[in-house]
């Protein structure tokens, strides 16, 4: 097992390096850099000398391999440098935004668990009944429903509903406060994007719960339990659900990493100052250091989650380890 | 150059403030409260000498003082008043080559250090004569300046190489923050990119990256009784819809850049008298610039046809409903005495009121030039208001004279690169956007070889006309020359097709008082004049 | 969100070895499909409706999708003009919303099908090739796929369009690239299982060429996972294109596209909510149709699930 873990761990290195390579070069393929962008504002006065000075200060004029080397070393030493745009350390810029995105991801996951596991189980137990069809339709619709559209409708509803109820138009707070500072403020801001994304997310998990339950329900030990005359409720709760949950947990794990990146669009709708919005800003603003850092963080989370899932599987299914 | 001595009576013409009660006596002003406002752009750095965006000005300007500024209580008049200096703004001595400013006594930076003439000199030296390797974005505005010096602790003297009407407007740029000499010497010339130590009405409290900047009242502020607010919070909201919703839900009270009319109407409809609207002409304009380095745009007939296709007077009525543009104008900010009147405008190709005749003429010109099946790609910038809206509208205008037009919407970096370096576009959206009203800056945009003209024009006649304009002794003479220059740029040569001048609409919560709309979103943003009627 | 199913599909697909060749007549297939998979059949109908809208857009739509009518900007649904009735109202440029939705189906399906077909096919070739040749090629190839898979779908797509500029070509490229490794992986694991089956060895022993073995024996046997991925990609591509356009990074004006319509509509949602409702419904319905159909297809092609029914 240890050998397998080590092997998988080593395999992560070329992946991370490759991803770093791709993002580094893709950013530099297209002409124009942060200096030209910043110093060529709406005013229309554009001074090439100033641009050169700026490029020099930021080190964009250095040879590409030198910049790349610095970046790669930075990935492994967690030194992402300063944002080329604001001049502040990247870690400082990312800090609170990461916290915000992480919290929405966690809340969306909770929404998912609350919705997906009961619905998926019911749907599987009553396979091909009307209730199954409804759950399946709703969950497929959930995957089809763009979260940004749901978000827009939610905001519209909040403004109009609050006006109708209390005569005052209410919209979610604009500024993020950590949950331990002001729980009401925090939740009233983040619950809406969590619902908008969690709804989609739960649709995926519901389907997975259902199909996983269906498989388990046909396993021999469930049949044996039935043959022994155990209560159906007991069989489902004690035996089936427990075993069916593993793939569901895996899905939730993988989706969690995905969710962090996928919040990009929802954050725009709800004006949330999260990682996704920062990525859009920095990639369009040609802030190389910042874009590289965010993408690498997302990649690291993604790769690491996949690694954990693999290890989990290998641990449960010894055949994988030796294949 | 006599522009500084011109009485700029643009106030009444430009600012049609729909609001009542903002011109209140000192007695009516209430102190206290925190102003929340939304900003649609991010903060690149805190150093105004380097930055060029309102995304920095709106949240950071309240922390700093200026030497002179556009009067925040009447920003529409282009009336320059002292900020850290005393008395009236100097009219100039030695034939307009010597300007002296007396600095107030007892001024303090937020860190407690005193502010005197030496700090002003250090700041302007950084702006005008930055050492090698230090960026200064508006350095080229001060080509007339020979030296800046402090004759004593409370006197600053600017010596010019030649008299220029562009000097005082440039000096009053809202980007000319006064920094502490000690900070510059001790911490270096780039320290202010990431640190704030000003002498403005508010003291920096917190900047949560990408979220908000907050400030609290500076007790030692030099304008007595000001600021009225206890503090402010500048909240980032990149999406227009989010900014409108923020004001509707009272999460923010005002946005200082401007909303399109539809948003204004929606807010007024749901909030009634809780919303006050201020409107003004805006010192910015978008234009379509054909690339003369590329066929067939080297043909003046084709360029004129492009300009003739544009329904300016109609657009002023309908496009102004969905975009932040409205006013039909020429090369100079409309409302300035040097700008063309409506009668003068209608004589320029594409400004005539008979749209059918214009377009028939456009088709004729295209036919004459053998370009009846012309197709073109418009280089546009990925900014919604008003770039993309105006661009989409332009495509529709071109289609009306049989041109097949599409647009390539590029991220700002690529857009600039194509416009300035590659110069391989067919037609590009181009812009002229200034802070302080300054006709010299307006017309220099079109000067071939002037640095801001991306049309590829090498028109020598235009350069001659510009030189004559600079030397014109009287306003009447200047006006005449500007008209000739305008005719040459927009009609004969048609190097640029001006669309519609921007129109600034600021709907805000009615309890926000004292803030008056300016013809630029860069002006009047120190917020010392603002108070809340709550 | 399909990443999930993909990852799990890896294991499952190893057992997918359905053979598409011996099937009953077409009509019988359709009726039996409709009976066994009512949801999938409904999905198929939705898909067909959208395809018809896209193909026959010029005949079905009442207006020119790019013609502005400045006298009728943001007109409510049912407004009539000299040129006809705006059944779903008009947008900010006075263009007919119904017409733009119908033409929007063109954009959506064009992007959806192009990305899905190109992405899945390239993935198929790479996946089968990698599995067939095995050894070092397979190893290197797997590492490259890993790298591409390390980027979440939208992050990769977004970076590509944000950097290279937004045009319909770039949008298609941006969506297609991340699809390739996702399909290749699934196909490879199915193909690997097939490679181990004795008849491939037999074919080799008989001296059949590599290309013949690949085309005649391996490709048909991975058709099931391939088709499943393909249909899933169409829905995803439509959604991704809408998301990119909504961010302002996708398709550009004046091309009619649903995500772009939603983006513009968001500005007017206070006063003219209808222009935000219709494109949202169109996206949801379109993706919904493809997902339902894809789901049913998966059930029908996956022998294990079928035997369970």
pLDDT at residue A24, as a whole number: 86
Q: Which residue of A has its CA nearest to B271?
A: A169
The total of structural domains in chain B comes to 2
B158, B148 contact by CB (below 8 A): yes
- Evaluate whether residue B319 is within a structural domain: yes
Separation of alpha carbons C68 and B396, rounded Å: 7
Same domain? A249 vs A200: yes
Partners of B255 in beta bridges: B38
Chain B CB contacts of A267 below 8 Å:
none
Separation of alpha carbons C1 and A143, rounded Å: 8
Same domain? A49 vs A114: no
Two tokens, residue B373: 């099946």
Same domain? B262 vs B334: no
- Evaluate whether residue A11 is within a structural domain: no
Partners of B35 in beta bridges: B232
Separation of alpha carbons A193 and A158, rounded Å: 13
Same domain? A146 vs A283: yes
Other C-beta atoms closer than 10 Å to the C-beta of B276 total 23
Given B235, B411, B452, which is nearest A174 (Cβ)?
A: B235
- Evaluate whether residue A7 is within a structural domain: no
CATH (domain of B251) = 3.40.190.10
Given B263, B389, B409, which is nearest C166 (Cβ)?
A: B409
**Range of B139's domain?**
32-278+510-532
**Range of A268's domain?**
91-316
Chain A CB contacts of C165 below 8 Å:
30
pLDDT digits (tens, 9 = 90+) for B394-453: 999 999 999 999 888 887 777 877 887 788 899 999 988 888 888 877 888 888 876 778
pLDDT at residue A45, as a whole number: 53
Taking the Cβ of residue C166 and every Cβ of chain B, the question of whether any pair is shorter than 8 Å is answered with yes
| Average pLDDT of the residues in B466-475 | 78
The total of structural domains in chain A comes to 2
pLDDT at residue A318, as a whole number: 61
Same domain? B360 vs B342: yes
Half-sphere exposure of A142 (CA within 13 A, CB side): 23
| H helix runs in C134-222, sequence order | 135-149, 153-164, 168-195, 198-205, 210-212, 219-221
Name the DSSP letter for residue B63.
G
Q: Which residue of B has its CA nearest to C267?
A: B241
pLDDT at A1 over 60: yes
Same domain? B268 vs B316: no
- Evaluate whether residue A6 is within a structural domain: no
Chain C CB contacts of A148 below 8 Å:
243, 246, 262
- Evaluate whether residue B378 is within a structural domain: yes
Chain C CB contacts of B414 below 8 Å:
165
- Evaluate whether residue B299 is within a structural domain: yes
Alpha-carbon gap: C253 to the closest alpha carbon of chain B (Å): 6
- Evaluate whether residue B17 is within a structural domain: no
- Evaluate whether residue A16 is within a structural domain: no
pLDDT at residue A261, as a whole number: 64
Provide the pLDDT confidence category of residue A269 given band limits of 50, 70 and 90: confident
- Domain boundary (A23, A49, A77) is at A77
Separation of alpha carbons C99 and C239, rounded Å: 20
The helix (run of H) or strand (run of E) holding residue B145 is: strand B145-152
Same domain? A111 vs A70: no
Same domain? B521 vs B492: no
Given C92, C254, C269, which is nearest B322 (Cβ)?
A: C92
Alpha-carbon gap: C184 to the closest alpha carbon of chain A (Å): 17
Given A85, A95, A155, which is nearest B245 (Cβ)?
A: A155
pLDDT digits (tens, 9 = 90+) for B114-123: 999 999 999 9
Burial status of residue B435 (CB atoms within 10 A of its CB: 0-12, 13-18, 19 or more): buried
Alpha-carbon gap: B289 to the closest alpha carbon of chain A (Å): 14
- Evaluate whether residue A17 is within a structural domain: no
Given A47, A171, A173, which is nearest B140 (Cβ)?
A: A47
Q: Which range is least confidently modeled, B53-57, B201-205, B208-212, C13-17?
A: C13-17
Separation of alpha carbons B500 and B112, rounded Å: 48
Separation of alpha carbons A270 and A158, rounded Å: 12
- CB–CB of C70 and B392 under 8 A? no
Residue C143 CA, chain-centre distance (Å), reads: 26
Question: Which residues lie closer than 8 Å to B167 by C-beta, 6 or more apart?
Answer: B4, B99, B142, B144, B145, B158, B160
Same domain? A199 vs A238: yes
- Evaluate whether residue A13 is within a structural domain: no
Q: Which range is least confidently modeled, A94-103, A185-194, B228-237, C10-19?
A: C10-19
Pick among A23, A24, A152, A171 to test the C interface (most C CBs inside 10 A)? A152
pLDDT at B17 over 50: no
Same domain? A56 vs A142: no
Separation of alpha carbons A211 and A205, rounded Å: 10
- Evaluate whether residue B199 is within a structural domain: yes
Alpha-carbon gap: B321 to the closest alpha carbon of chain C (Å): 9
- Average pLDDT taken over every residue of chain A: 80
Instruction: Write down all domains in chain C, each with its CATH number in brackets.
Output: 99-308 (1.10.3720.10)
Chain B CB contacts of A264 below 8 Å:
none
Same domain? B136 vs B232: yes
pLDDT at B310 over 80: yes
pLDDT at A43 over 70: no
Chain C CB contacts of A265 below 8 Å:
154, 243, 246-247
* ∠ CA B165-B171-B173, rounded to 5°: 115
pLDDT at residue A39, as a whole number: 67
- Evaluate whether residue A83 is within a structural domain: no
Separation of alpha carbons B233 and B215, rounded Å: 7
Partners of B215 in beta bridges: B204, B232
Two tokens, residue B122: 């250090």
Same domain? B338 vs B359: yes
| Average pLDDT of the residues in A216-237 | 73
- CB–CB of C252 and B260 under 8 A? no
The model carries a pTM of 0.82
Same domain? A141 vs A248: yes
CATH (domain of A282) = 1.10.3720.10
- CB–CB of C143 and A18 under 8 A? yes
Chain C CB contacts of B262 below 8 Å:
74, 92, 267-268, 271
Same domain? B166 vs B205: yes
pLDDT at residue C19, as a whole number: 39
- Evaluate whether residue B21 is within a structural domain: no
pLDDT at B305 over 90: yes
Same domain? B393 vs B414: yes
Same domain? A107 vs A201: yes
Alpha-carbon gap: C147 to the closest alpha carbon of chain A (Å): 5
Same domain? A98 vs A69: no
CATH (domain of B324) = 3.10.105.10
Strand B155-160, strand B98-102: pairing: antiparallel
Chain A CB contacts of B432 below 8 Å:
44
Low-confidence stretches of chain C (pLDDT < 70) are 1-25, 302-309
Same domain? A165 vs A300: yes
Question: Which residues lie closer than 8 Å to B487 by C-beta, 6 or more apart?
Answer: B347, B348
Same domain? B200 vs B298: no
Same domain? A253 vs A179: yes
- Give rounded-to-5 percent helix, strand, coil for chain B: 35, 20, 45
Q: Which residue of B has its CA nearest to C159?
A: B411
Separation of alpha carbons B112 and B219, rounded Å: 11
- Evaluate whether residue A148 is within a structural domain: yes
Same domain? A55 vs A184: no
Give the neighbours of chain C: at least 3 Cβ pairs within 8 Å. A, B
Length of chain C: 309
Question: Which residues lie closer than 8 Å to A322 by C-beta, 6 or more apart?
Answer: none
DSSP per residue, C35-99? HH-HHHHHHHHHHHHHHHHHHTHHHH-SS-TT---GGGTTPPTTEEETTEEETT-B-TTS-BHHH
pLDDT at residue C308, as a whole number: 36
Half-sphere exposure of B38 (CA within 13 A, CB side): 30
Query: Dihedrals φ, ψ of B325, to 5°?
Result: -125, 155
Secondary structure of residue B43 in the 3-state scheme: coil
Alpha-carbon gap: B87 to the closest alpha carbon of chain A (Å): 30
Q: Which range is least confidently modeled, B127-131, B471-475, C75-79?
A: B471-475
pLDDT at B309 over 50: yes
Name the DSSP letter for residue B324.
S
Alpha-carbon gap: C182 to the closest alpha carbon of chain B (Å): 29
Same domain? B97 vs B36: yes
- CB–CB of B208 and A39 under 8 A? no
Q: Which residue of C has its CA nearest to A287?
A: C163
Chain A CB contacts of B425 below 8 Å:
none
pLDDT at residue B398, as a whole number: 94
Same domain? B518 vs B406: no
Two tokens, residue A266: 């929802």
Same domain? B97 vs B119: yes
- Domain boundary (A11, A43, A77) is at A77
Chain C CB contacts of B391 below 8 Å:
253
- Evaluate whether residue B181 is within a structural domain: yes
pLDDT at residue B205, as a whole number: 96
- Evaluate whether residue B4 is within a structural domain: no
Q: Which residue of A has its CA nearest to B454?
A: A44
Provide the pLDDT confidence category of residue A101 given band limits of 50, 70 and 90: confident
């Amino acid at each position: 097992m240890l050998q397998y873990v080590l092997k998988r761990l080593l395999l992560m290195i070329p992946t991370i390096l490759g991803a770093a390579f791709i993002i580094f070069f893709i950013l530099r393929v297209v002409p124009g850099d942060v200096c030209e962008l910043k110093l060529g504002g709406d005013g229309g006065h554009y001074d090439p000398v100033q641009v050169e000075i700026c490029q020099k200060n930021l080190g964009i004029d250095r040879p590409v391999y030198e910049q790349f080397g610095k970046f790669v070393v930075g990935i492994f030493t967690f030194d992402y440098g300063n944002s080329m745009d604001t001049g502040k350390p990247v870690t400082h810029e990312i800090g609170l935004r990461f916290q915000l995105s992480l919290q929405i991801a966690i809340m969306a996951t909770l929404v998912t668990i609350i919705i997906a596991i009961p619905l998926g189980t019911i749907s599987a137990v009553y396979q091909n009944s009307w209730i199954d069809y409804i759950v399946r339709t709703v969950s497929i619709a959930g995957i089809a429903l763009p979260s940004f559209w749901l978000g827009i409708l939610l905001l519209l509803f909040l403004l109009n509903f609050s006006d109708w109820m209390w005569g005052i138009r209410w919209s979610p707070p604009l500024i993020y406060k950590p949950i331990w500072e002001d729980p009401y403020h925090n939740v009233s801001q983040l619950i809406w994007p969590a619902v908008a994304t969690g709804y989609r997310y739960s649709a995926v998990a519901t389907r997975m719960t259902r199909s996983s339950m269906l498989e388990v329900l046909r396993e021999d030990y469930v049949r044996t339990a039935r043959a022994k005359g155990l209560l159906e409720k007991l069989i489902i709760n004690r035996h089936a659900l427990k075993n069916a949950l593993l793939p569901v947990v895996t899905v939730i794990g993988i989706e969690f990493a995905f969710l962090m990146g996928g919040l990009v669009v929802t954050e725009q709708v709800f004006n949330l100052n999260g990682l996704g919005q920062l990525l859009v800003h920095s990639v369009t603003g040609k802030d190389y250091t910042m874009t590289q850092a965010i993408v690498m963080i997302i990649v690291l989370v993604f790769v690491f989650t996949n690694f954990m899932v693999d290890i989990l599987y290998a641990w449960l299914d010894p055949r994988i380890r030796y294949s | 150059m006599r522009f500084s001595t011109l009485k700029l009576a643009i106030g009444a013409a430009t600012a049609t403030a729909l609001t009542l009660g903002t011109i209140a006596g000192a007695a009516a002003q209430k102190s206290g409260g925190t102003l929340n406002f939304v900003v649609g752009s991010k903060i690149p750095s805190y150093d105004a000498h380097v930055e060029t965006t309102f995304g920095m000005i709106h949240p950071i300007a309240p922390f700093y003082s200026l030497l002179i500024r556009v009067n925040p209580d009447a920003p529409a008049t282009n009336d320059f008043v002292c900020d850290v200096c005393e008395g009236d703004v100097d009219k100039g001595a030695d034939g307009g080559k010597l300007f002296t400013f007396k600095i107030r006594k007892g001024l303090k930076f937020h860190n407690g250090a005193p502010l005197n003439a030496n700090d002003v000199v250090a700041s302007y030296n950084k702006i005008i004569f930055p050492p090698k390797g230090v960026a200064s974005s508006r350095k080229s505005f001060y080509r007339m300046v020979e030296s800046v010096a402090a004759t004593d602790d409370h006197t600053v003297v600017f010596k010019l190489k030649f008299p220029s009407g562009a000097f005082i407007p440039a000096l009053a740029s809202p980007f000319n923050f006064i920094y502490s000499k000690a900070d510059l010497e001790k911490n270096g010339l780039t320290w202010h990119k990431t640190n704030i130590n000003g002498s403005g009405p508010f003291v920096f409290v917190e900047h949560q990256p990408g979220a908000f900047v907050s400030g609290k009242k500076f007790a030692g502020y030099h304008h007595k009784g000001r600021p009225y607010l206890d503090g402010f919070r500048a909240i980032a909201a990149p999406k227009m819809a989010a900014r409108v919703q923020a004001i509707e839900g009272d999460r923010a009270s005002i946005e200082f850049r401007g909303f399109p009319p539809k948003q204004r109407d929606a807010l007024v409809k749901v909030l009634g008298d809780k919303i006050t609207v201020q409107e003004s002409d805006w010192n910015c304009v978008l234009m379509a610039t054909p690339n003369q380095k590329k066929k067939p745009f080297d043909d003046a007939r084709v360029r004129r046809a492009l300009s003739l296709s544009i329904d300016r007077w109609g657009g002023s009525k309908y496009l102004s409903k969905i975009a932040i543009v409205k006013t039909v104008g020429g090369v100079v900010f409309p409302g300035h005495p040097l700008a063309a009147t409506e009668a003068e405008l209608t004589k320029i190709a594409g400004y005539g009121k008979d749209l059918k005749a214009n377009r028939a003429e456009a088709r004729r010109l295209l036919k004459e030039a053998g370009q009846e099946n012309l197709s073109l790609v418009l280089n546009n910038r990925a900014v919604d208001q008003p770039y993309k809206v105006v661009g989409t509208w332009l495509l529709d205008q071109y289609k009306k004279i049989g041109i097949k037009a599409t647009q390539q919407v590029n991220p700002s970096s690529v857009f600039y690169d194509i416009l300035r370096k590659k110069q391989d576009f067919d037609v590009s959206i181009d812009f002229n956007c200034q802070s302080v009203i300054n006709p010299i800056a307006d017309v220099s945009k079109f000067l071939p070889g002037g640095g801001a003209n991306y049309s590829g024009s090498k028109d020598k006649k235009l350069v001659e006309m510009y030189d004559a304009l600079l030397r014109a002794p009287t306003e009447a003479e200047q006006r005449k020359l500007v008209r000739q220059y305008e005719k040459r740029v927009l009609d004969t040569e048609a190097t640029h097709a001006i669309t519609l001048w921007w129109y600034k609409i600021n709907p805000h919560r009615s309890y926000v008082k004292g803030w008056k709309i300016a013809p630029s979103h860069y002006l009047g943003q120190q917020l010392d004049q603002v108070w809340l009627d709550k | 969100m399909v990443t999930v199913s993909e990852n799990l599909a890896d294991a499952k697909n190893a057992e997918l070895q359905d053979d598409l060749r011996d099937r009953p007549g077409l009509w019988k297939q359709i009726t039996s499909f409709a009976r066994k998979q009512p949801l999938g059949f409904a999905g198929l109908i939705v898909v067909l409706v959208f395809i018809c809208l896209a193909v026959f857009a010029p005949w079905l739509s009442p207006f020119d999708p790019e013609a502005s009518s400045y006298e009728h900007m943001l007109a409510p649904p049912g407004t009539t003009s000299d040129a006809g009735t705006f059944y779903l109202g008009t947008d900010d440029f006075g263009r007919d919303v119904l017409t733009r939705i119908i033409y929007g189906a063109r954009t959506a399906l064009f992007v959806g099908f192009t990305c899905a077909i190109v992405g899945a096919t390239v993935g198929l070739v790479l996946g089968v090739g990698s599995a067939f040749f095995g050894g070092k090629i397979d190893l290197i190839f797997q590492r490259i796929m890993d790298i591409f898979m390390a980027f979440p779908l939208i992050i990769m797509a977004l970076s590509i369009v944000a950097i290279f500029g937004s045009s319909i070509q770039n949008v298609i490229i941006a969506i297609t690239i991340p699809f390739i490794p996702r399909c290749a992986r699934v196909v490879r694991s199915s193909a690997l299982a097939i490679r181990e089956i004795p008849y491939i060895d037999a074919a080799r022993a008989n001296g059949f060429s590599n290309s013949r073995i690949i085309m005649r024996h391996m490709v048909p046997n991975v058709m099931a996972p391939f088709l499943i991925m393909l249909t899933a990609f169409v829905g995803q591509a439509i959604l991704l294109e809408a998301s990119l356009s909504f961010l302002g990074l996708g398709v550009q004006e004046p091309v009619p596209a649903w995500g772009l319509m939603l983006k513009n509509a968001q500005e007017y949602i206070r006063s003219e909510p209808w222009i935000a409702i219709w494109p949202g419904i169109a996206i949801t319905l379109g993706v919904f149709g493809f997902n339902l159909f894809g789901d049913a297809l998966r059930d029908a092609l996956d022998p294990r699930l079928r035997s369970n029914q």
